[in-house]
Structure 1
């Protein structure tokens, strides 16, 4: 019986932001599909726990916005065989309009979401070019293409991620490298729970219901659902897919 095109045996997968949330769910799904996992994350304690929970996984503390840290991380990855799959999941969010977004917040969004993605993609692609193959998956957002209230800087950063995805797919197609991105709507992660606890103490259930109702399907997505789409896009099952932005949004974009 032929092997499943969704299997990742023999593949080395690097997942940024892999210690929690969507990144962690993707890392677990890829490990279950047979990939060797390297987690990059800025939180050493969470990183250690996440790597320990995934058989054979390696965790490298890394601030993706710092060039030297990214270079050191990928030097170690290169010594271990290089990168076959990169998932860019590290990122931060922000609430604010054009007028209410201060320069420090804008710079932070750009530094982590945009510069961080650029640095990690650059390091990974250098290894993939040598292999003449590779897959990159970036985490964009419905905010990249839909007008969302109070998400000015966040939307800017995810629009840049989408554009970088398309450019990279075009430039490195001849090297056997595919590059796509996923655009989720709201996903229920610990970030959401922490945000509600900080800003809506005592009213978490009410706000959770409001957030769920904002999706036409009537609920938020789960990290595991995002991970399954990521598995498809990083496996041979999607070998004809590159330069694509995949919405996974409970109908948010087209059914509002």
Structure 2
């Protein structure tokens, strides 16, 4: 299946985790991918791995919260790819804290990367999509946009904002052939989850992740590749009538009440 043949795809936070899994899958299916991120070493390693597999990949270092860097990165991406057919907004940070304990600078950082970063990427990718009257935007939100655990006030707020951003994109640009959808992963075995586990119980990450997996009806955590399959579908022409929606990839977590009846 070479459904992305001849298409250019930009993935923010593309150097690892879900972003890298998306890059691998979409490149495997014929796409040329540009990986955006702020860690040059991580991006270069990811680019090298993709190229070693025979895929077309380019790494561009940019902080998604800084407009000048995003504008330059999108222009470079358009020049490298020849077009921007799909944008995957995956870049995110998740420090812990409540509204009472988190300092304003920390709050601004989370909103700046997760939500403003998605806006900036869309803002600077859209002219390229509008010029060709087609495009697909996939925002990686979270189940935290729909229901919250403790101490994730800024992260959950940013991800809920991404759902509103997704709807706005769909409504404003559907007539121009541009679709926008969001994916809401649950507990996925990715770097952010492992960071959360280390914050929760240092040295006991594997046990914590196993316990979190048991809380989902499927009884395990998900894999980045499983999220990537949904992202690739939404970015592809197979999802030609899908826009303005959010799709859960959570092992059934959001379908579960927090009350268990005795056997």
TM class by shorter chain equals over 0.9
TM-score by length of 1: 0.94
Query: Residue 9 of structure 1 is aligned with which of 2, 5, 10?
Result: 5
Aligned twin of 2:73: 73
CA offsets, 1:124-173, max 9 Å, x none?
Answer: 11110001000000001111111332221111000111100000110000
CA offsets, 1:204-244, max 9 Å, x none?
Answer: 33322222222222111110000001111111111110111
Deviation at 1:93, TM superposition (A): 1.0
For the 8 Å contact 2:7–2:83, the answer to whether it is kept is: no
Mean Cα deviation higher: 138-147 or 93-102? 93-102
Distance verdict in 2 for CA 1:220–1:67, change over 3 Å: same
Mean Cα deviation higher: 176-185 or 146-155? 146-155
Aligned twin of 1:30: 26
CA distance in 2, matches of 1:204, 1:116: 29
Stretches (4+) displaced over 6 A: none
Aligned length: 252
Mean Cα deviation higher: 130-139 or 184-193? 184-193
CA distance in 2, matches of 1:239, 1:164: 19
Matches within 5 A, 1:130-145: 130-145=131-146
CA offsets, 1:8-60, max 9 Å, x none?
Answer: 11100001100000000000000001001111111000101101111220110
Mean Cα deviation higher: 161-170 or 211-220? 211-220
CA distance in 1, matches of 2:247, 2:26: 18
Aligned twin of 2:261: none
Aligned twin of 2:62: 62
Aligned twin of 2:153: 152
Q: Are residue 45 (structure 1) and residue 45 (structure 2) matched? A: no
For the 8 Å contact 2:145–2:157, the answer to whether it is kept is: yes
Mean Cα deviation higher: 49-58 or 174-183? 49-58
Deviation at 1:197, TM superposition (A): 4.0
Cα RMSD of the aligned pairs, angstroms, is 1.5
SS across alignment from 1:187: coil
Unaligned runs of 5+ in 2: 258-263
SS across alignment from 2:42: helix
CA distance in 2, matches of 1:202, 1:110: 29
CA distance in 1, matches of 2:105, 2:216: 31
For the 8 Å contact 2:135–2:177, the answer to whether it is kept is: yes
Deviation at 1:199, TM superposition (A): 5.1
Deviation at 1:7, TM superposition (A): 1.1
Deviation at 1:255, TM superposition (A): 1.9
SS across alignment from 1:57: strand
Unaligned runs of 5+ in 1: none
SS across alignment from 1:51: helix
TM-score by length of 2: 0.91
